[in-house]
Amino acid sequence: MHVDLKFGEGRLPFDVDDSKIIGVIMPNPRPPLENAIDEVRACLAAPEGTPPLESMLKERAPKKLVIVVNDITRPTSYPILMPPLMEVIEKAGVPDTNVTLITATGIHDPHTPEQNELVYGADICARYRVVSHNANDKAGLVYKGKLPSGYDFWLNKIVDEADFLITLGVVMPHYFAGFSGGRKSILPGVAGKQTVEKNHARMVELMDNLPSIRENPVSLEMIDAARRVGVDFILNVVVDDNENVVKVFAGDLEKAWYKAVDVSEAMYMIPIAKQADIVVSAASGFPRDINLYQSQKALDHADRATKKGGTIILVAECRDGYGEKVFEDFMNRGWTPQQIMEEIKTHFVMGGHKAYGFAKVAAEKNIIMVTSLSEKIVASCFAKKAATLQEALAMARAQQGADASIIIMPEGSVTAPVVS
């Protein structure tokens, strides 16, 4: 079999004997919308669980309309979502000066002006105020009480002061929150670092036995936070593995989002008959493989498809290195996987959760990386570096045997295997 795997903005060729392959895990196909922009217009006019957005905006006449948008690490269909949304805002009589886009960076670095234009487009950046959330800026946060788990909820002040709040997102599988989109625009998107850490600390309870999305305690707390903030309207999409929009959802925070989850689950939660000795997982190309921090998702998905003691080949360019300073520090402490896992369980810290993700896999499985990273960085992640996919396969077979079974995951960052 020949397959080209995404790597940064290019592709890497891979050839393997068909007789050894027990599965190629790809998203279930769903046709892209023929006219996605018109579908967005239709959903804004007839949303789930709310009046049409235009009538809501006319009634409320917001002085501070805030739109929460994703950062560069989360590909989002802005050329499709924003034009109809801007049309509705203009028809409702809301001046451009009343509109702020806030980038839901979570604990990621703020955008540069150049990144804003790259992600949202020059027209939007010229028309509206665009601000990046900073989870570490205490002066830019307000206290919103305690969440159900008992920890403090700190929120971005611009979001708190909004008199109408819209969130945009993409609904895809997530390794411990269940799915992205919806409520995740608020927590972790525009929450304080302390709040994000406390919420994400529960991942260590969930990663080995992820509950259904309607019972996932991390997700439910995210919903509670978003309800407390007062999200008025969401606009979310489900996309295929080429980022084409296949379905649009708009309206109520929960009603619209859960419908999107059902579509995303049918596309991306893929049943497999059994685990393999070797799993080749590509981190879906740029920007999903922009750094190790983001590429960990493809490692986690591969972990689910790999036998204990097996080998994972992670294909990820990682042009920006580790992608987060705390994560980088953990990976360079010289600790064993077990030491990292114990430290994070005892003293959870954001960034460390990604170290936990790598350590959890490395504790039971072998990892080989095809990447632009140096051998030193790869070794810090408990992995070995291969120059090519064919070399990686040869290394994996040396570990697992010439007759080792193989699963290939061309869209490893978004495809979640489920052993049936």
pLDDT at 109: 85
Reply yes or no on whether the pLDDT at 333 is more than 80.
yes
pLDDT at 128: 97
pLDDT at 390: 97
Reply yes or no on whether the pLDDT at 25 is more than 80.
yes
Q: 130-144, 154-168, 201-215: which range is least confident on average?
A: 201-215
360 in Cβ contact with 343 (< 8 Å): no
Here the CATH number for the domain that contains residue 337 is 3.90.226.30
> What percent of the chain has pLDDT above 70?
100
Six token digits for residue 170: 């993409």
pLDDT at 126: 95
pLDDT at 170: 96
Examine the fold and report which residue of 267, 282, 310 is the final residue of a domain before the chain moves on: 267
Rounded to an integer, the average pLDDT of 387-401 is: 98
d(CA 392, CA 370): 7
- Same domain, residue pair 224 and 307: no
Identify the CA nearest to 242 among candidates 85, 31, 69.
31
pLDDT at 52: 98
d(CA 202, CA 215): 14
CA 215 to chain centre: 20
Torsion angles phi and psi, residue 13, rounded to 5: -75, 145
| pTM greater than 0.75 (yes/no) | yes
Rounded to an integer, the average pLDDT of 274-302 is: 96
- Same domain, residue pair 251 and 341: no
Q: 72-81, 129-138, 179-188, 288-297: which range is least confident on average?
A: 72-81
Q: 215 falls in which pLDDT band (50, 70, 90)?
A: very high
Rounded to an integer, the average pLDDT of 286-310 is: 96
Rounded to an integer, the average pLDDT of 156-167 is: 98
| CA separation, residue 38 to residues 52, 83, 173 (Å) | 15, 10, 26
pLDDT at 142: 98
In tens, the pLDDT along 342-358 reads 999 999 998 899 999 99
Q: 412 falls in which pLDDT band (50, 70, 90)?
A: very high
- Same domain, residue pair 9 and 45: no
282 in Cβ contact with 298 (< 8 Å): yes
- Same domain, residue pair 205 and 234: yes
- Same domain, residue pair 20 and 130: no
In tens, the pLDDT along 240-258 reads 988 999 999 999 999 999 9
Here the CATH number for the domain that contains residue 61 is 3.40.50.11440
Burial of 387 (0-12, 13-18, 19+ CB in 10 A): exposed
- Same domain, residue pair 192 and 307: no
- Same domain, residue pair 171 and 150: yes
Q: Taking CA 310 as the corner, what is the angle to CA 306 and CA 314, rounded to the nearest 5 degrees? A: 70
Residue with tokens 């049943």: 271
Mean pLDDT estimate for the chain: 96
- As a whole number of Å, the end-to-end CA separation of the chain is 25
13 in Cβ contact with 280 (< 8 Å): no
Examine the fold and report which residue of 249, 267, 285 is the final residue of a domain before the chain moves on: 267
131 in Cβ contact with 66 (< 8 Å): no
> CA gyration radius for the chain?
21
- Same domain, residue pair 156 and 284: no
What lies within 8 Å, CB to CB, of 380 at 6+ separation is 331, 332
- Same domain, residue pair 252 and 289: no
CA 275 to chain centre: 24
404 in Cβ contact with 392 (< 8 Å): no
| CA separation, residue 368 to residues 296, 315, 403, 420 (Å) | 13, 9, 18, 26
- Same domain, residue pair 45 and 172: yes
d(CA 131, CA 125): 10
Examine the fold and report which residue of 247, 267, 287 is the final residue of a domain before the chain moves on: 267
- Same domain, residue pair 231 and 278: no
- Same domain, residue pair 93 and 190: yes
Identify the CA nearest to 197 among candidates 47, 326, 382.
326
pLDDT at 207: 77
Question: When comparing pLDDT for 207 and 220, which is higher?
Answer: 220
d(CA 256, CA 35): 20
Enumerate the β-bridge partners of residue 178. Answer: 174
Taking the CA atoms of residue 218, residue 224, residue 228 and residue 232 in that order, the dihedral angle to the nearest 10 degrees is 100
What lies within 8 Å, CB to CB, of 127 at 6+ separation is 86, 96, 99
pLDDT at 202: 86
What total of structural domains would you count in the chain?
2
Residue 415 is part of which domain span? 2-27+273-419
pLDDT at 206: 83
d(CA 149, CA 232): 24
Please tell me what DSSP assigns to residue 48: B
Q: Calculate helix-pair angle for 78-91, 36-45, nearest 10 degrees.
A: 40
69 in Cβ contact with 101 (< 8 Å): yes
CA 307 to chain centre: 25
d(CA 217, CA 203): 10
